[in-house]
Structure 1
């Protein structure tokens, strides 16, 4: 899909605030409301705009421990990966799951939990017993100086 400056500006603005009204969005990008709304609908229908969510402050909800878990698997078969991924999707503590390369691990999970005690129970009772898991190495977040959801769009303007 080709993007013009209006499309890019719409995407930038909606990434900053998905709750913006169509009138406000139109004013910010320099279009009238009707064409602005048509462009937003086209971006949604094309799948570029996937969904709109509300970000919550994890620490205010008691989720004070963020961990990355590198998971090693015993076999690299589609069935083994599908089984692991099916189970991982059931755990709300898993915020992200990535199949990775270039490391000794096969998966990297981002997990949010209240504390170390909860983490230990989660790791020992839910992650390590999964069929095929041969190793789990944890890293804990000390500070998070960059935490954005906006995707960079600068490469699209070329």
Structure 2
């Protein structure tokens, strides 16, 4: 078993507040600070848990969320996705089972930044035959508690 009830409780407490101290977690779980520190380190090493800082993109001037459907020809989608993943504005890159071949979420400041990103960073990637862009009017839900920790 990769995790037990204590690990799950630690992860839940950290997801509620990443600023919670090991002492507070220990007090709430009836464990010691050393045990909590060891459990967190062990889960991080096994890519089960990662405590991260989250930026407020809107406060930093990134007002547009753009969802791109990428269609690929004459090249494996996985290789195209690897190149797309290197783009700073790409928040997520997913290879899909059907059309489109790749789904990309971009965070950009404005329409000019979107155009610049597409023209200078996406269009030059070999294998992209065409793409469609959808601009999100409003993000109703964005749950960042879960992710692919072992991702490259």
TM range (shorter): 0.7 to 0.9
Distance 1:122 1:38, change over 3 A: closer
Count residues with an aligned counterpart. 147
Match of 1:54 in 2: 53
Match of 2:150 in 1: none
Residue 150, structure 1, aligned to residue 149, structure 2: no
Superposition CA RMSD, Å: 2.0
Residue 85, structure 1, aligned to residue 84, structure 2: no
The 10-residue stretch of structure 1 (18-27 or 29-38) with the greater mean CA deviation from structure 2? 29-38
More helix by share: 1
Unpaired runs of at least 5, structure 2: 148-152
Give the structure, 1 or 2, with the largest relative contact order (CA under 8 Å, sep 6 or more). 1
Deviating beyond 3 angstroms after TM superposition, the runs of 4 or more aligned structure 1 residues are: none
Question: TM-score, with normalisation over the residues of structure 1?
Answer: 0.82
Question: TM-score, with normalisation over the residues of structure 2?
Answer: 0.84
Unpaired runs of at least 5, structure 1: 153-158
